[in-house]
Amino acid sequence: MNEDETSTGRCGRSAGSSRPPPVVAVGGTLQDDARQIDGNTEAMSEPTTTPLAEPGASIGAPAPDDDRRLKRILYILVAVTAVLFAVFAVVYYLGQRVDAAPSIPDQAVVKAEAAVKDAPNDIAARLQLANVYAQFGRPDDALSQFNEILKAQPKNRAALLGVGAMLSQKGDLAGAKSNYEAFIKTSGKGEFSAADPQLEQAYYFLGVTNLGLSDVPGAVKALESALVIDKTDADAWFSLGEAQSRAGDYKTAAEAYTTALTFIPSGWCDPYAGLQTAYSKLGDKDGVTFAKGMESICKGSGSDGVQELTGLSKGKYQLPALLGLGLAAEHDGNSSQAIEYYTKAAQLDPTNVAARTALARLGAASAAPSASASPAPSGSAS
Amino acid sequence: MTTDSLVPPPAPSTEPGAPAPMPKSRRRLIILIVIVAVILALIAGLFAWYLRTGKPITQIPILDAPIPPAYSTSIYDVQQPLGVAFDEQNDRLYVSQSSGDQSVLVFNSAGQPQGKLTPVTPKKKNHVPVYIAIDPTNSDVYVTDRAAAAIYVYDAAGNFVKEFKPNGIAKWAPLGITFDKNGDLYVTDVTDPHQSVVMLKTDGTVVRRMGESDGLSFPNGIAVRDDLSVFVTDSNNGRVMVYKSDGSSAGALPRGQGETALGLPRGAVFDDRGRFLVVDTVNDTVNVYKPDDATLATFSYSFGEEGQNDGQFLFPNGIATDTQGRVFVTDRQNNRVQVWSYR
């Protein structure tokens, strides 16, 4: 028998009795209490049914009136609590409620849509709307606008690139590829093709798309074309590393990852992970240690990274390891330790820009040896 | 169930004058009354606290959970805002804009425009207002002007009062600015070769310089803790320098990696709960540090990310807080001031 059964049973018995019902069943629920309180209120309106005292009760036993008073107090307290809570909730809600201003995307969309509505044949306005949709995560709407532009101007460069990007975002890699190829066909031999940033983008995205389609040779070719236009595109170097790694050319992959890291040396962990794989396949244990250490530092596990890099006290990874150790010390706020590492790195290679820049940043430019000094024979991997 | 299983109630005492045992039902009633009374008292206390402070309930003093604030809204119609300060007494939010008419715009805390502050100086002089501080003693508004290498002072009504000039300093380049609770002024001076922090009285008396030998590189934001420790964002060095109340160095908050990284720290402030908030301009975040550390501060969490949506930043710069759990951040390239709240 559970507690509810107990209370129900007792209430049931008392209902048919001439004795007043027990006030609250032992172990009863709050609902039971409420029912009891209601029942008791009715009882109070019929004074003749209230006995003076229970037969057999001692002289000092509490009278049922006391229970009623307590119940009434409880009832009032519950009501006051509920009302106070409700008032507090309303006041709090009204006080904390903020009608947020329209977001930048919403404002931009409203403005661009109004411009297209005003001039439906204005390609520039429609392109602006398509780009706004694309920028703020509405690929279907963007695609629709780009396609509208292509109906009027089948060779519109921005629309071709935009359709490729949107299809890629929606997972239609084959469709994206054909658009990038169409763009390249249109612009690949133009007067400014050797320095065309949009063409470089098209090659880069075609390379990444080919990689997604497992067309590794196509990816390598496209990414190399992108790098012919812009040799400083770190993303293209990284993707080339990924492509070469999948092609099994780990030496070229390692070089590509290293070049990518030359442009973005910290805060970008993926190339270090790629380097680990490449060095591992090449059987370069020191290289793996270096890449692993740098990845640890990059991901915030500075102590693990320092442990790895400290072991590289000689060989071709000594210099990059010193730079990595300096970076880790700098990030830990240990400037003197950082200066020590950077100074050693500058002594190994007096022309090393990273070491000299770091020393200058730490106010220790004088610690760097003259750039005309001969580098130490241990060489450099960076 | 059989009646045999019922336990008979204890026989009542027949001894005359002996106190009768309290029935279980009554004891239960009393317990319920006590419980409800306690709940009522808690709600009443919470309500009273809310009416007094206006803070969201996440800021109840006994709670110390590291809960980041949430994006609330934005104030637009500002052009490349840099500095921000909130005057609690007069419900004024001051925002310096580095583009457009390069004035200091004044809003109320609901974001409604109230006017602007423009220095009265020769027209040829270029102006770029940067950081703003409110004098706690009289609500005067101090604005550093990078282009003019000056600090302009306005009264709480928005009238230009004067150009603040330090005694005995012929040439300086004030950038960051703040007041401590006693009304003393702190200014970062980015004059080479020894960029430093200058502590001054409002009459221009120089109290001391700090950090001259620390290689500071464009120190930006300054925040003074209740114990008068001075926290300075050493922006180009990617660190926060800390000075004790006597001006001696107490070390630096490390640059960190990953989430704790400080790329280009700029605006900084202590809120009324002692949390230290630092804007990282290039990481598009605000780092928040725990207030409970003896000397420095411990990273707690960060909020914000790069972008243009609500709650995203593009080169945020200045920061201010109020006593109602709100955080104001100038979102420079998005041309807005974002309002975050600990609700």
Q: Are residues A150 and A252 in the same domain?
A: yes
- Span A237-278, pLDDT tens digits: 999 999 999 999 999 999 999 999 988 887 899 999 999 999
Q: How large is the average pLDDT for residues A16-28?
A: 41
Please state the domain count of chain B.
2
Per-residue pLDDT at A67:
83
* Residue A372 banded pLDDT, cuts 50, 70, 90: low
Q: Are residues B92 and B57 in the same domain?
A: no
Q: Which of B51-60, B119-128, B212-221 has the lowest mean pLDDT?
A: B119-128
Whether A74 sits inside 8 A of B29 (CB atoms) is yes
Distance from CA of A187 to the nearest CA of B (A): 31
Instruction: Give me the percent of chain B exceeding a pLDDT of 90.
Output: 64
Q: Which of A54-68, A141-155, A180-194, B154-168 has the lowest mean pLDDT?
A: A54-68
Q: Which residues of A touch B313 (CB under 8 A)?
A: none
Distance from CA of A306 to the nearest CA of B (A): 13
A89 touches chain B (CB under 8 A): no
What ipTM goes with this model? 0.74
* Residue B101: strand, helix, or coil: coil
Q: Are residues B290 and B200 in the same domain?
A: yes
Q: How large is the average pLDDT for residues A13-38?
A: 42
Please state the domain count of chain A.
2
Q: Which residues of B touch A300 (CB under 8 A)?
A: 256-260
B7 touches chain A (CB under 8 A): no
* Residue A38 banded pLDDT, cuts 50, 70, 90: very low
Q: How large is the average pLDDT for residues A26-32?
A: 43
Per-residue pLDDT at A98:
86
Q: How large is the average pLDDT for residues B96-100?
A: 92
Q: Name the residue of chain A whose CA is nearest to B41's CA.
A: A81
B194 touches chain A (CB under 8 A): no
Per-residue pLDDT at A311:
84
Q: Which residues of A touch B72 (CB under 8 A)?
A: 98, 100
Q: Which of A274-288, A318-332, B134-148 has the lowest mean pLDDT?
A: A318-332
Instruction: Give me the percent of chain A exceeding a pLDDT of 90.
Output: 54
Q: What is the DSSP string of A236-294?
A: HHHHHHHHHHHHT-HHHHHHHHHHHHHHS-SS--HHHHHHHHHHHHHT-HHHHHHHHHH
Domain residue limits at B75: 66-341
In a domain, A333, yes or no: yes
Q: What is the DSSP string of B190-228?
A: --SSS-EEEEE-TTS-EEEEE-TTTT--SEEEEEE-TT-
Q: Are residues A139 and A229 in the same domain?
A: yes
In a domain, A369, yes or no: yes
CATH number of the domain that residue A60 is part of? 1.25.40.10
Cα gap B192→B195, rounded to integer Å: 6
Q: Are residues A34 and A123 in the same domain?
A: yes
The set of residues, in sequence order, having a beta carbon less than 8 Å from that of B191 and lying 6+ positions away, is: B171, B172, B173
End-to-end CA distance of chain A: 79
Whether B25 sits inside 8 A of A363 (CB atoms) is no
Pairs of residues, one from chain A and one from chain B, whose beta carbons lie less than 8 Å apart: 143
Domain residue limits at A296: 290-382
CA dihedral A188, A194, A199, A205 (to 10 degrees): 110
Q: Which residues of chain B from 94 to 123 reach within 8 Å of chain A, CB to CB?
A: 111
Q: Name the residue of chain B whose CA is nearest to A137's CA.
A: B309
CATH number of the domain that residue A296 is part of? 1.25.40
A27: left (phi over 0), alpha (psi -120 to 50) or beta: left
B46 touches chain A (CB under 8 A): yes
Q: Residues A381, A317: contact at Cβ < 8 Å?
A: yes
The set of residues, in sequence order, having a beta carbon less than 8 Å from that of B46 and lying 6+ positions away, is: A88, B57, B60
Query: How much is the mean pLDDT over chain A?
Result: 82
Residue bearing the bigger pLDDT, A67 or A283: A283
* Residue B259 banded pLDDT, cuts 50, 70, 90: low
Of B239, B309, B341, Cβ closest to residue A104: B309
Residue bearing the bigger pLDDT, A49 or B244: B244
A332 touches chain B (CB under 8 A): yes
